[in-house]
Structure 1
Amino acid sequence: MGTTFIGLFILVSLVNLLYFFSFFSFATTNFKNKLHPEVPVSVIICAKNEEENLRNFLPAILDQDYPDFEVIVINDASADNTLEVIESFQKIDPRVQLVNVQNNEAFWANKKYALTLGIKKAVNKHLLFTDADCAPQSSNWIKEMSRNFQPGNSIVLGYGGYFQQSGSLLNKLIRFETLLTAIQYFSYAKLGTPYMGVGRNLAYTSTQFYEMKGFANHLHLRSGDDDLFVNEASTSDNTAICFHPDSITRSVPKKKFSEWFHQKRRHVSVAGHYKTKHKALLGAFYIFRVLFWIMLAGLLIFQVYPQIVLSILGLKLITEAFVYIKAGKKLKETDVIWLFPFFDLFLIFMQLAIFIANLISKPKHWK
């Protein structure tokens, strides 16, 4: 019996290792400087009750070192002074374009409807998306993201991280989870299987948008304007990744666990609409992580080949540490990687809690 269990544990461990070996595709890749086409760009920001964030972060976008861009700011039926803030920026900078969305009974609180109106307003073919609570970490953000619109590329996946808050364990957990997600979608894209992107830092062409008929196939879902669109439209031939340090954006993280938990519930509910092969890859990754820790605990408790079990654990941790260190350096998240065994376990239990919560009820609004 003990031999059977250790055999199963070795099999489960190999699957876990194979996943992290696949993440080497991103962790070990080097940034390659590409010729810059300097295409005209339309930056699109959807803002709902974001007056303070727009005051704080819109100047960083207007200060971009790029020769030809406009900034379309969508007021998505805000109840605060978001509209007035956008209008004030319009008065001092002609590159700011306003789209004022009124409440529409057919598209109530639907961000995709608001974004569609913003895309239709854009005068440029190349679209770069971010959120109102995001700030580019360099004046070369537009330059580095748009540099990846090489011939054949119509989608560019960027990294949208979160601002660091010293002394906050929740902040580290949020940024670690964001790092792990980025490792996955960058790695799969490098391997020719792109499956998602984040709206905090995402670019695609209007041609690609209209070819997919916009968000038509998932307009009924409140979320997924970023990852569901990429999941549907991206291929191994049309998608590029951008992880240059100057291309990173950072957002204001949640300060309460309950708020972040609700946000992740929304993200997970959307993942159920991915392509079957992507759901299988992501589902297996989670299941085999759970199995590893359960079997590890059982084998150690009952002292079944403890030397072999601990050796496998050591190999797994070393492999994962290598991936997190390399990726963390690329994406400027080095302070969170040393807690990865604790965070990995916590996220496993949290994902289970999210799955149960979403079975009971699903989040409805994008904000």
Structure 2
Amino acid sequence: MIFTILFYTFVVVTAVQIVYYLFFLSFTNIEKTQKDADVNIPVSVIVYVKNNADILINYIQDLTKQKYTCFEIVLVNNASSDNSLGVIEKLQKDFSNIKIVDVKNTEAFWGNKKYALTLAVKAATHEHLLFTEISSKALSKNWIHGMASNFSQEKTIVIGHQKLKHKKNSFSNLLIRFDYLLKTIQSLSFVKFRSPYKATNHNFAYTKSEFFKVNGYINHMNLFIGEADLFLKDAVTTKNTTYSITIDSFVVSTKSLSFKKWFSLEKKASILFSLYKFKHRFFLRFFHITKLLFYLLVSYIVFVNWKLALPFIISYYLIQYIVLGRSASKLHEKNVVLLLPFLDICLVLLQISIFISNQISKPKHWK
């Protein structure tokens, strides 16, 4: 009797997981909002600067080589303690399309990134804004074009993709990129179904009008996290948001993420997750819960009657491999799924570890 109940529960959670993965596959089919040849809208590229004097020159010189008709670079220096301001002032003399926003610390907004970005938005010349950060770089000299081509009269928010740097012969890097791939296809699938919840300021575009329509970051200015996600939560409608998965629109992180840093960021991300809309929290949690149940139940059922469990296990991994394989191909991350079953199990165990760690010591908001 107990085995029968557990077996049928196993069948249900396997079916739920398969439905989720088929839902995730939807993001790979996207319609272009306008023809690339028609793109000529002026763009303000906003770059956040905080103690980056050592890499600023190479980064900005590379950014100025973008093949786009009309763009300015707004460098927002958020009270850097190094020589960042001096470097960008020198760069401004060399490049006429650079604008500087120098933010001084104030008692009310001490070191607040959202306050600095708000000043940058106000200072930007153009209606269409494209956000990035110095810890990432464009994969193509057509990056601005690749992102701007998704704007239309209806689509005023564009979510771009950031690839993580690949580190050879590193299992932790492979695991981190696998986790990032899964999170990316989850978030983009929700955009496809007109319910976006996640973006990154490393590659994010929207109009000034959308920013001021919701008073920018005013609803979460006191939180030192979520400048992209929480703005998206306030500004999104069922029609105004799209995303780009063409490689010309990608950026890539300049440094590989260590396992220790990733684990710390995952702990802190739980704060941001708690601020998402209820429907997003529910669907994402249900996905993780059913995945955990799948592995708990499969270990028991295989022990009792492996022949009965085998068709469901094969179906699960086959669908998972097809979906993640196609998604990885679209995002140019083909090698991420090579150790798929093992990576999936490791990720579940790590998520349990992160949950337990958060119960022992709650993460604090970070600056």
The TM-score, its normalising length taken from structure 2, stands at 0.94
RMSD, aligned CA: 1.7
Segments of structure 2 that go 5 or more residues without pairing to the other structure are none
Instruction: Select between 133-142 and 256-265 the one with higher mean Cα deviation.
Output: 256-265
CA distance in 1, matches of 2:325, 2:258: 27
| Alignment partner, residue 347 of structure 1 | 347
Looking at structure 2, the residues matched to 54 and 241 of structure 1 have their Cα atoms a distance apart, in angstroms, of 28
Query: 1:365 corresponds to which residue?
Result: 366
Q: Structure 1 residue 153: deviation in Å?
A: 0.9
| Stretch of structure 1 that moved more, 102-111 or 151-160 | 102-111
User: What is the match of residue 80 of structure 2?
Assistant: 78
Q: Give 1:264 deviation, angstroms.
A: 2.2
**CA deviation digits over 1:9-32, x for unaligned, max 9?**
0111111111101012113x1664
- Alignment-derived partner of residue 333 in structure 1: 333
Q: 1:285 to 1:3 in 2, by over 3 A?
A: same
Which amino acid in the other structure matches residue 225 of structure 1? E
Letter in 2 for 1:204: Y
- 2:144 aligns with 142
The structure-2 alpha-carbon separation of the partners of 1:81 and 1:236, relative to structure 1 and needing over 3 Å to count, comes to: same
* 2:10 corresponds to: 9
Superposed CA deviations along residues 177-212 of structure 1, whole A, max 9, x for unmatched, are: 221111011111112221111111110111001111
Secondary structure, counterpart of 1:45 in structure 2: strand
Report the alpha carbon displacement of residue 174 of structure 1 after superposing the two structures with TM. 2.2
Distance 2:296 2:54 in 1: 46
Aligned residues of 2:166 and 2:256 also touching (Cα < 8 A):
no
Partner of 1:21: 22
- 1:272-302 CA distance string (max 9 Å, x none): 101111111111111111111111112223x
One-letter amino acid matched to 2:26:
S
- Structure 1 residue 364: Cα displacement: 2.6
Query: CA 1:351/1:185 → structure 2, altered by over 3 Å: closer, same or farther?
Result: same
Pairing 1:314-329 to 2, within 5 Å after superposition: 314-329=314-329
Q: Distance in 1 between matches of 2:57 and 2:175?
A: 28
- Distance in 1 (alpha carbons) for counterparts of 2:221 and 2:21: 34
User: By how many angstroms is 1:86 displaced?
Assistant: 1.6
Mean alpha-carbon deviation: is it higher for 238-247 or for 165-174?
165-174
CA displacement 1:218-238 (0-9 Å, x = unmatched): 112110001111122222200
Query: How far did residue 118 of structure 1 move?
Result: 0.9
Q: Is the 8 A contact 2:139 2:248 kept in 1?
A: yes
Cα deviations by residue, 1:45-90 (Å, 9 ceiling, x for unpaired): 1121222342343223211111111111111122222222222221
1:119-167 Cα deviation digits (max 9, x unpaired) = 1110111110111111111111111111111111111011011222212
> How far apart in 2 are the matches of 1:263 and 1:273?
16
Structure 1 residues 273, 333: CA separation in 2 closer, same or farther (over 3 Å shift)? same
Q: Is the 8 A contact 2:32 2:150 kept in 1?
A: no
**Whole-Å separation in 1 of the counterparts to 2:194 and 2:98:** 36
Number of the residue aligned with 2:273: 271
| Equivalent position of 1:42 in the other structure | 44
Find the aligned partners of 1:186 and 1:332 in 2 and give their Cα distance. 15
**Cα distance change on mapping 1:58 and 1:341 into 2, 3 Å:** farther
Q: 1:133 to 1:217 in 2, by over 3 A?
A: same
What amino acid is aligned across from residue 280 of structure 2 in structure 1? Answer: H
Distance 1:154 1:33 in 2: 11
Q: Kindly tell me: are residues 16 and 253 of structure 1, through their superposed partners in 2, closer, same or farther at Cα, counting changes over 3 Å?
A: farther
What amino acid is the match of 1:309? Answer: A
Secondary structure at the aligned position of 2:226 is classed as coil
SS at the partner of 2:45? strand
Preserved CA contact (<8 Å) 2:46 2:120: yes
* CA apart distance, 1:240: 0.8
* Number of aligned positions between the proteins: 363
Distance in 1 of aligned mates of 2:358 and 2:118:
28
Cα distance change on mapping 1:340 and 1:108 into 2, 3 Å: farther
When normalised by structure 1's length, the TM-score is 0.94
- Where does residue 356 of structure 1 map in the other structure? 356
The AA in structure 1 aligned to 2:253 is S
Segments of 5+ residues of structure 1 without an aligned counterpart are none
* Residue in 2 that maps onto 1:111: 113
| Partner secondary structure for residue 105 of structure 1 | coil
Distance 1:56 1:167, change over 3 A: farther
Three-state SS of the structure 2 residue aligned to 1:106 is coil
For 1:244, the equivalent position in structure 2 comes to: 246
46-55 vs 6-15, greater mean Cα deviation? 46-55
Q: Distance in 2 between matches of 1:80 and 1:310?
A: 60
Runs of 4+ in structure 1 displaced over 6 angstroms? none
Cα distance in structure 2, aligned partners of 1:55 and 1:162: 22
Q: 1:358 to 1:116 in 2, by over 3 A?
A: farther
One of 220, 223, 247 as aligned partner of 1:218: 220
Looking at structure 1, the residues matched to 364 and 59 of structure 2 have their Cα atoms a distance apart, in angstroms, of 27
